[in-house]
Amino acid sequence: MNNFPAALPQSPHVPVTTVDLPAFKKAGVHLDLLRLDLVHPLISGNKWFKLKYALEAVRASDCHRVLSFGGAWSNHIHALSNAGYEQGLETIGVIRGERPAQLSQTLVDAAGWGMALEFVSRAQYRNKSDQQFIARLHDKYGDFHCLPEGGSGEWVVAGCREILSLFNAADYQLICCACGTGGTLAGLIADKPEGVDLLGVPVLKGGEFLYQDIRRLLAQAGVNDPGGWMLELDSHEGGYARVSVELALAMKCFTEYSGIGLEPVYSGKAFLALQRKLLRGELRPGSRVMLIHTGGMQGLRGMEDILSKKLP
């Protein structure tokens, strides 16, 4: 059985790629991409950093069983199940929605790596933090460590703050990433160099709640909020996993010029937010911008038909 890597991958495995898009070049804005999608072939992108210290703590404890939550195409469930398999940990995935006649490929992978799948109704899933709900899961599965949805638990800031060590963050005026639960952005804020701004792009409609959640994660980690960060609330394109024509076209253009794929749930929306800021004249000529590719390309398998229908 392989062990989960004890240290972060070295910089050659997490390259920074310059993306020469005509609109950015014309505006005099330098755009780079941090390829977290290449951190690990299966424990993808920011999930590697979110899980790193949480699973170290599980391995060091007397209980080697982990339970967490997600949907049918969840990057977190996919990454957790593979990491658990590689480390000899038992994993349980509480999956949103009734069990379908045919599992998504994400869940096929997870089950193949030994994850027990517990399907619950969407109404039950909304109460996943309720103590009675958790108690019933303990009755069925015994003792386990519970990781929040998306992996944004107590260890998330410790892991995600290390992302900024992969490149010289002080060289950039703006660093941008997508936000689901806010854990990745909280980690970036914790080690943000002075004078560098951070932009988080919530992928959920009504993402204002992330301001409070991110500040809570920072406080739990003992980090004073340094400021210099904000959320772009209008690039969710209708909600989680929703795709607009503008998003599909932006992703197509990005890939045509860079040769690098994005996915529409997270990284695609982060790029769209930057493109819109550029068109509004909010990115200064001569500025350097870093877009963080947060991985999750496995989820593209569930979005290809939707994307194709949005393109002319």
**Per-residue pLDDT at 31 exceeds 90:** yes
Tell which residue, 163, 173, 231, has the closest CA to residue 199. Answer: 231
Over residues 216-231, mean pLDDT:
96
> Of the given ranges (9-18, 138-147, 204-213, 298-307), which has the lowest mean pLDDT?
9-18
Over residues 118-142, mean pLDDT:
95
In this predicted model, what pLDDT tens digit does every residue of 62-116 receive, in sequence order?
A: 999 999 999 999 999 999 999 999 999 999 999 999 999 999 999 999 999 999 9
Q: What residue has token string 């941090």?
A: 34
Over residues 205-229, mean pLDDT:
96
Spatial separation of the C-alpha atoms in residues 164 and 56, rounded to whole Å: 21
Q: Give 3-state DSSP helix, strand, coil % of the chain, rounded to 5.
A: 45, 15, 40
Share of residues in the chain with pLDDT > 90 (%): 89
Q: pLDDT tier at 151 (50, 70, 90 boundaries)?
A: confident
In this predicted model, what pLDDT tens digit does every residue of 173-192 receive, in sequence order?
A: 999 999 999 999 999 999 99
- Torsion region of 49: left, alpha or beta (phi above 0 gives left; psi -120 to 50 gives alpha): alpha
What is the pLDDT at residue 163?
Answer: 95
Average confidence score pLDDT of the chain = 93
DSSP 280-296: TT-S-TT-EEEEEE---
For β-strands 30-35 and 16-18, DSSP reports them as antiparallel
DSSP annotation of 138 reads H
Spatial separation of the C-alpha atoms in residues 26 and 279, rounded to whole Å: 11
What is the pLDDT at residue 4?
Answer: 52
What is the pLDDT at residue 14?
Answer: 86
43, 103, 213, 298 from 125: Cα distances, Å: 24, 18, 19, 23
Over residues 30-36, mean pLDDT:
97
pTM over 0.75: yes
Over residues 239-267, mean pLDDT:
95
CA atoms within 13 A on the CB side of 100: 13
Tell which residue, 221, 152, 146, has the closest CA to residue 182. Answer: 152
SS3 category, 130: coil
**Per-residue pLDDT at 12 exceeds 70:** no
Over residues 153-165, mean pLDDT:
92
